[in-house]
Amino acid sequence: MFFKNKKFERKVLLDKSVLDSIVTFCKMKHPNEGILILKGKSKNGQIKIDGLAIPPFNFTGPTFAGFPHSFLPFDNSYIGVVHSHPSGSAEPSVTDLNNFFGLVSLIIQSPYDDDSIFAWDSSGNTIPLSINDENETEKN
């Protein structure tokens, strides 16, 4: 009976320290988009992000950011990508969805604060995101 209507509650958990690094990186790249690889693990629909990697040969501009996936080393801790939208909303563009990599896509919009970041799946549906702050467990 446990398998009846079994549906995992999808959720993204982002370490506060990782969020801080994303914010710093994207502010530095502004007004161009910034892009980083998310490292972490996924279990029972829960995606935990605890690290970042800089994609090789990445190219960015004011309205695009990407990297050739063929240059990526095989690493199963690579679970997605985060990129910034210097203007406009944090909704994924058609290009973003066509270039979807991994399990989750995080998009952070200007002004790059804790409330500017959203998680999406490959269909462009939002996934609940919570910030994991070890010193402040009550937050969010």
Footprint of Zn ion (CB under 5 A) = 93, 96
User: What distance in Å separates the CA atoms of residue 61 and residue 52, rounded to the nearest whole number?
Assistant: 20
CB of 91 to Zn ion, least distance (A): 9
Q: Which residue is nearest to Zn ion (CB)?
A: 96
CB of 60 to Zn ion, least distance (A): 10
CB of 83 to Zn ion, least distance (A): 5
CB of 4 to Zn ion, least distance (A): 39
93: amino acid identity, one letter:
S
Nearer to Zn ion, 15 or 96 (CB): 96
- Is residue 39 within 8 Å of 17, Cβ to Cβ? no
User: What distance in Å separates the CA atoms of residue 51 and residue 77, rounded to the nearest whole number?
Assistant: 9
Nearer to Zn ion, 52 or 90 (CB): 90
58: amino acid identity, one letter:
N
Nearer to Zn ion, 46 or 63 (CB): 63
Nearer to Zn ion, 86 or 132 (CB): 86
Per DSSP, 23 falls in state H
Nearest CA-CA partner of 78 in 86, 69, 87: 69
